[in-house]
Amino acid sequence: MCNVGALDKVIRFFAGVIAVIAAFFVGTLVSLTAGFIVGAVGVVMMGTAIFGFCPLYPILRINTCKK
């Protein structure tokens, strides 16, 4: 099942990488909990990009995958 298109995947993946990198800075400068949350969001974004499926898209009736 695919609901994340090619451009969406690229944007999600790079945003996820940036979030994971930012998590290290947030974790040291703000708080460990905030860093963990930012890192987890980044990992989820990269996961949805790799698998091509976003669990929120069916709920919101969004599909960026070409048929």
pLDDT in tens, 42-61: 999 999 999 999 999 999 99
pLDDT at 66 over 90: no
Report yes or no on 1 lying in a domain.
no
* pTM (2 d.p.): 0.88
Report yes or no on 41 lying in a domain.
yes
Q: How many CB atoms lie within 10 A of CB 64?
A: 15
Find the domain containing 22 and state its range: 6-60
Instruction: Convert 44-63 to b/e letters by CB count within 10 Å (16 or more is b).
Output: ebbebbeebebeebeeeeee
Q: What is the pLDDT of residue 1?
A: 83
Report yes or no on 55 lying in a domain.
yes
Report yes or no on 25 lying in a domain.
yes
Report yes or no on 22 lying in a domain.
yes
Find the length of the chain.
67
- What's the total number of domains in the chain? 1
Q: How many helices (H) and strands (E) does the chain have?
A: 3, 0
Mean pLDDT along residues 18-27: 96
Tokens of 45: 């974004």
